[in-house]
């Protein structure tokens, strides 16, 4: 069966680097290209957010190198990670750079690919399911729903300094994006919520935190902008987390398919017939 599935897929050649997205957690969300790469690579340089179950698909004898970057904890420098990929490729290794989610969505894949170009290392990009879409789907929250929104904004909750990005137009996002999906935002959610409320969002707007998305440890907290900081602190939940702001959070009452497998009774009308208006 596996020979049939992988027939015709590309070969990971010696001296090449593949930048591959592993998806948000569940190994079943790996693409065929990702699984094919795992079965060929000599060295797998992986992030902290790559599920260990995904790494079990590595070929026997493959070397696993951890290169995780976690906010507030000792981490390898990005430049060092990029140069390590160059070093391994020049040594004739078949190199898989495995990143959680999608390498080009807040994954620094572009920076690493530019280093490979600079050093004339051949490479391939393999997209993955980003947590801001796949992780929310596992929580029963769609990023778009035509009764709610015709636009969505993805943003990061901190910049390279670890602070809330000051180049984000919070006023513009607050007034123009009906749904906001945030990566790495839990630590600064108090400041972010205040910025959005100051920009015109209702303090009672629904917010959800999806922690350890698409894994057996997934946990979801539903709250509001006004209570987000206090509720997430009281919950004891920890990153990694995706945070979503908007009326789509209410759809979880109907679409929490994982909860339904555990006995949750889903409702047919999550909006209780209230009138919705896309503010964008």
Whether residue 1 lies in the annotated active site = no
Alpha carbon of 221 to those of 54, 68, 194, 228: distances in Å?
Answer: 26, 26, 19, 9
* Residue of 42, 53, 69, 231 with catalytic role: 69
Q: How far apart are alpha carbons 65 and 87 in whole angstroms? A: 13
Please identify which of the residues 26, 47, 102, 256 carries the catalytic annotation.
Answer: 47
Residue 56 falls in the annotated catalytic set: no
Question: Quick one: which of 37, 10, 9 has its CA closest to 21?
Answer: 37
Q: Is 27 exposed, middle or buried (0-12, 13-18, 19+ CB in 10 A)?
A: buried
Encoding tokens for residue 224?
Answer: 């509001």
Q: Give the active site residue among 99, 102, 184, 186.
A: 184
Task: Tell me the pairing of strands 241-245 and 206-211.
Answer: antiparallel
69 has catalytic annotation: yes
Residue 259, CA distances (Å) to 158, 220, 275 in order: 31, 11, 27
- Contact status, residue 173 vs residue 149, Cβ threshold 8 Å: no
Residues with catalytic function = 47, 69, 184
């Amino acid at each position: 069966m596996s020979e049939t599935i992988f027939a015709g897929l590309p070969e990971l050649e010696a001296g090449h680097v593949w930048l591959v997205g592993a998806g948000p957690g569940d190994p079943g969300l790996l693409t065929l290209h990702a699984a094919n790469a795992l079965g060929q690579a000599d060295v797998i340089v992986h992030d902290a957010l790559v599920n260990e179950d995904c790494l079990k698909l590595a070929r026997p004898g493959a070397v696993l190198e951890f290169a995780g970057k976690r906010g507030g904890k000792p981490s390898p420098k990005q430049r060092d990670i990029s140069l390590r990929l160059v070093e391994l490729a020049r040594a004739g290794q078949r190199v898989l750079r495995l990143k959680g989610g999608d390498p080009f969505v807040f994954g620094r894949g572009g920076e690493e690919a530019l280093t490979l170009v600079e050093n004339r290392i051949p490479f391939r990009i393999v997209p993955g399911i980003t947590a801001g879409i796949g992780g929310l789907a596992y929580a029963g929250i769609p990023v778009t729903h035509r009764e709610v929104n015709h636009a969505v904004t993805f943003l990061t909750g901190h910049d390279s300094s670890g602070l809330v990005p000051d180049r984000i137009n919070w006023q513009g996002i607050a007034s123009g994006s009906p749904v906001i999906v945030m990566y790495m935002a839990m630590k600064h959610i108090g400041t972010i919520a205040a910025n959005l409320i100051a920009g015109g969002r209702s303090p009672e707007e629904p917010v959800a935190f999806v922690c350890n998305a698409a894994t057996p440890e997934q946990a979801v907290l539903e709250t509001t902008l006004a209570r987000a900081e206090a509720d997430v602190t009281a919950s004891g939940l920890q990153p990694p987390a995706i945070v979503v702001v908007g009326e789509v959070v209410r759809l979880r009452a109907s679409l929490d398919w994982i909860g339904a497998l555990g006995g949750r009774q889903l409702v047919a009308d999550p909006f209780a017939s209230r009138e919705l208006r896309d503010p964008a």
